[in-house]
Amino acid sequence: MSRLALMTFGILREAHGHPAVQGFHDQGKDVFATVDVTDGLIDRCRYAAEGDPFGAFVTGRLATPELADRVAQTLSLWTNLENVYAFSYAAEHADALRRRKDWFLKGIWPAYVAWWVADGRWPQWRDANARLEHLHDHGATAFAFDFRSPYAADGRPVTLERTRIATLRGR
């Protein structure tokens, strides 16, 4: 059975550590605490963990050298689309999304990308960046997609199961 990889990508208005983006880092602690106990999360990259299965952190071409100190990315592995969607638009994470204009530049790049990986495989940073770039360059395909145009693991376009998402969100 395949698993869903998700990478988020953004460029902060200021460098990490700047007071203007401190709220993002402060709220991030609550977001990570919530995601770590969310049904459907298999694991997420923790950057400093020895032997991290996500591999060495690298950025792609959308993170230009002059903005490298402002890149904020996450990489995670999930059981399915609905669980990651329910997390993304509920509770602490939804509040952070509402405040993203305070912290992030508005870009022409996608804010996230999803794709399927085979059981036993882990998404790697280099591949994640290539998929984000593919989504940016070509739009959603089975290779790289978003929630507006999701794909099943077998490559078919699908529709998110909204009733399941509502149940997961407790509505």
Instruction: Look at 51 and 8; give whichever has higher pLDDT.
Output: 8
- Give the C-alpha separation, 16 to 103, whole Å: 10
Q: What is the mean predicted confidence (pLDDT) over 95-109?
A: 90
Please say if the pLDDT value at position 60 is more than 70: yes
pTM: 0.93
Query: How many domains does the structure of the chain reveal?
Result: 1
- Give the C-alpha separation, 151 to 159, whole Å: 8
Element (H, E) at 163: helix 162-168
Under the phi-then-psi rule, with left for phi > 0, alpha for psi from -120 to 50, and beta for the rest, what region is 35? alpha
Closest CA to 13 of 53, 67, 55: 67
Instruction: Look at 58 and 133; give whichever has higher pLDDT.
Output: 133
Residue-level pLDDT at 46: 85
Q: pLDDT class for 48, splitting at 50, 70, 90?
A: low
**Sheet harboring 3-11: ordered strands across?**
41-44, 71-78, 3-11, 112-117
Q: pLDDT class for 61, splitting at 50, 70, 90?
A: very high
Q: CATH number for the domain including 110?
A: 3.30.70.100
Instruction: Determine which of 77-86, 88-97, 104-113, 125-134 has the lowest per-residue pLDDT on average.
Output: 88-97
Q: pLDDT class for 93, splitting at 50, 70, 90?
A: confident
Q: What is the mean predicted confidence (pLDDT) over 115-134?
A: 97
Residue-level pLDDT at 13: 95
Question: For residues 125 and 56, is the Cβ–Cβ distance under 8 A?
Answer: yes
Give the residue numbers spanning the domain of 158: 3-168
Residue-level pLDDT at 148: 96
Residue-level pLDDT at 171: 62
Please enumerate in sequence order all residues whose Cβ is within 8 A of that of 94, keeping only pairs 6 or more positions apart, or say none.
88
